[in-house]
Chains A and B, each alone.
Chain A
Amino acid sequence: MQQKELIPQLYRNEFRKMAAVLCRLFGIEHITIAEDIVSDTFLLAAETWGLKGIPENPVAWLYTVAKNKAKDFLRRNDIYNEKVTLAIQHAANAKNEFEIDLSNTNIVDSQLQMMFTICNPCIPPESQVGLALRILCGFSIDEIADAFLTKKETINKRLYRAKEKLKQLKVKIEMPHEQEIGSRIDNVLTTLYLLFNEGYFSAGRNSKIRKDLCLEAMRLAYMLVENKTTNKPEVCALLSLMCFHASRFEARIKPDGELVLYNEQDRSLWNKELILNGKYFLNKGATGSTLSKYHLEAAIAFWHTIEIDSIEKWENILSLYNKLLIIEYSPIAALNRTYALARVYGNDTAIVEAKKLSQDHNHLYHSLLGELFALTDNKKAIEHFLLAAKLTRSDADKKVILKKIEKLNQKVS
Chain B
Amino acid sequence: MNEFVLIFRNDFLPEAKFSPDEMQAIMQHWQEWIGGIAAKGLLANGGNRLSSNGNTVKPNNIITDGPFVEIKEIISGYIVIKAADIDDAAEIAKGCPILMVGGNVEVRDIIPMNI
Contact = CB atoms under 8 A, between A and B. Distances in A.
**Direct A–B contact present (CB less than 8 angstroms):** yes
Interface of A: 291, 323, 326-327
B115 interface: yes
A407 B115 CA distance: 41
A326 B115 CA distance: 8
Interface in B78-115: 115
Interface of B: 115
Nearest to A323: B115
A114 B32 CA distance: 43
Contacts of A327: 115
Nearest to A319: B115
Would you call the interface of chain A mostly helix, strand, loop, or mixed?
helix
A160 B115 CA distance: 43
A327 B115 CA distance: 9
A237 to B, nearest CB: 15
Contacts of B115: 291, 323, 326-327
B94 to A, nearest CB: 31
Contacts of A291: 115
4 contacts: A291-B115, A323-B115, A326-B115, A327-B115
A181 to B, nearest CB: 20
A381 B115 CA distance: 35
Nearest to B112: A289
For the complex of A and B, the 3 pairs showing the least CB-CB separation, nearest first, are A323-B115, A326-B115, A291-B115
Nearest to A289: B112
A49 B32 CA distance: 73
A244 B46 CA distance: 39
Nearest to A322: B115
A148 B115 CA distance: 36
Contacts of A326: 115
Contacts of A323: 115
B115 to A, nearest CB: 5
A330 to B, nearest CB: 16
B41 to A, nearest CB: 14
Nearest to B114: A291
A289 B115 CA distance: 11
Nearest to A326: B115
B113 to A, nearest CB: 9
A201 to B, nearest CB: 26
A323 B115 CA distance: 6
A290 to B, nearest CB: 12
Nearest to A327: B115
Nearest to B113: A326
B70 to A, nearest CB: 30
B114 to A, nearest CB: 9
A385 to B, nearest CB: 35
A324 to B, nearest CB: 9
A299 to B, nearest CB: 12
A97 B32 CA distance: 59
A291 B115 CA distance: 8
B3 to A, nearest CB: 13
A174 B82 CA distance: 33
A183 to B, nearest CB: 15
A361 B115 CA distance: 31
B30 to A, nearest CB: 30
A123 B99 CA distance: 48
B64 to A, nearest CB: 25
A298 to B, nearest CB: 15
A120 to B, nearest CB: 26
A288 to B, nearest CB: 14
B83 to A, nearest CB: 19
A91 to B, nearest CB: 34
A327 B114 CA distance: 12
B111 to A, nearest CB: 15
A77 B115 CA distance: 58
A319 to B, nearest CB: 10
Nearest to A324: B115
